[in-house]
Amino acid sequence: MAVQPGQKITALDWNNLTERVNKIFADSYKGSAPTADAGRKATQAYGWGNVSAATVTRGDKFTAGIANKVIDRVNLSARQTGSPHALNNVVRGQLITAATINDISTVLDEVEPNKNWAPVSQLELAALGTTSMTNEWTRTITFVSNIVFDSYDAARYYFNSASTIKLSLGIIGGNQPSNAMKSLYDRMGTVNIGLSTTTSSTANVIGDGKGFQDLTQTGWTRLIRVQTGQGGGGYGYGYGYGYEAGGYGYGYGYDDCANDYGYGGYNNATDGYGYGYGYGYGYGYGDGSNARRYIDVFGMIVNGAVVIKTEVHCCHSTVKKGTHRLTHGSQKAIAKTANDIEFHINAPIFTGTVS
């Protein structure tokens, strides 16, 4: 709320401003947990987990140092969210006026709606690790990736700051059936798991509209599916004969790995034919709606860690060889300082298995 010019600045005025800064820069919702409640998701999307600014007590001497602890946090928040504004620090003896508080509030008005977004200049890439399948396989590979934070709150700070986890698949060596999977891996591109969405660097691969904040402790949540070779239709026709007007024909539809059967019939014999037999024909259509090759990425919270399950599926039972690799990366908000105030997001630790 704006302070009117000439109005006396009270401890309550300053503390309201300080708490608003702390809600974004630090954390007002410590001890959070996974939730399906939209309201709690919205509140838990606040907080980067940095050190909060101290509030004041009525009667305390208000110094330039107290003011600058808040101003520095606001300036760091503005940098993190791409705001072009930067506030000047106050100097010893400078009067704190309504304009000072209102200027801080104006910058916060820009920062708050962008608290979960950051420009590329404020993010840095780092490798987390790779899990490789070197054994021969036929239909499915399952990668389980443990993205370990100090706590669920620490994971919140990471994703709240626009930091993401990146996944990509590749293959080294292998036989022809393995190389046929490369088109699927290329289509997957780089998968980015963020706070509220999961996306792919491939433009026409659409996620399920879910991210970190949608993960639960009770089961897997699918984040994205990538597929190639979705079953196209097949059709067939046949003919048959039957007594009197009962002629009937069958058709059969086929797709490479998704087989669907169709049948139909028509009898154009109305009066019998020869020995009283009629004849007819029919056709069938198979829609082949099951994908031949696809990747599903799921997530779950286990003891505060983000566990990601990446399943690679192929309907063909041919043996695949070579090294199939799932590479993990972090795109994390960069550390920054203003005087002695620091903005910092901790990177997770990665471990993984494959079967």
* Residue 205 and residue 299 in one domain: yes
Tell me if 317 is assigned to some domain: yes
Which domain-ending residue is among 114, 147, 179? 114
Residue at 3 is within a domain: no
266 and 124 in one domain?
no
* pLDDT score for 266: 40
- The rounded mean pLDDT for the chain is 85
Query: Do 90 and 218 lie in a common domain?
Result: no
Per the CB < 8 A criterion, the answer to whether 255 and 230 are in contact is no
Residue 4 lies in a domain: no
209 and 303 within one domain: yes
| Separation of alpha carbons 20 and 40, rounded Å | 18
Q: Which position has the token pair 């070197």? A: 134
pTM of the model: 0.83
> In the beta sheet, which residues pair with residue 263?
250
Query: Cα angle vertex 103, ends 47, 11, to 5°?
Result: 75
Query: Residue 205 contacts by C-beta under 8 Å, 6 or more apart in sequence?
Result: 187, 188, 189, 224, 226
In sequence order, the 6+-apart residues with CB closer than 8 A to the CB of 223 are: 191, 193, 198, 207, 208, 210, 211, 297, 298, 299
b/e for 55-80, b at 16 or more Cβ within 10 A?
Answer: bbeeeeeeeeebbbbbbbbbbbbbbb
Judge whether residue 352 has pLDDT over 90.
yes
Residue type, 64: A
The answer to the question of residue 5 being in a domain is no
CB half-sphere exposure, 44, CA atoms < 13 A:
24
Task: Tell me the two tokens of residue 5.
Answer: 């010019």
- Structural domain total, the chain: 3
Say whether both 316 and 328 belong to one domain. Answer: yes
Query: Quick one: 226 and 247 in the same domain?
Result: no
Dihedral sign for Cα 254, 255, 256, 257, please: negative
| Enclosing domain of residue 266 | 234-286
Do 146 and 170 lie in one domain? The reply is yes
- Please indicate, yes or no, if residue 203 is contained in any of the structural domains: yes
pLDDT band of 62, cuts 50, 70, 90: confident
Same domain? For 69 and 185 the reply is: no
Q: What is the pLDDT of residue 61?
A: 85
The reply to whether 216 and 246 lie within a common domain is no
Say yes or no to pLDDT of 279 above 70. Answer: no
Tell me: do 39 and 110 sit in the same domain.
yes
Tens digits of per-residue pLDDT, 105-144?
999 999 999 999 999 999 999 999 999 999 999 999 999 9
At 292 the pLDDT is 79
Give the pLDDT confidence of 159-178 residue by residue, as tens digits.
999 999 999 999 999 888 88
Residue 201 has pLDDT above 50, yes or no: yes
Are both 301 and 187 inside the same structural domain?
A: yes
What DSSP element (H or E) covers 330?
strand 323-333
Any idea what the Cα angle at residue 22 is, between residues 98 and 93, rounded to 5°? 40
288 C-beta neighbours (distance < 10 Å), count: 21
Position 2 scores a pLDDT of: 64
Same domain, 75 and 172: no
Domain end among 85, 114, 143:
114
Last residue of a domain, one of 64, 96, 114: 114
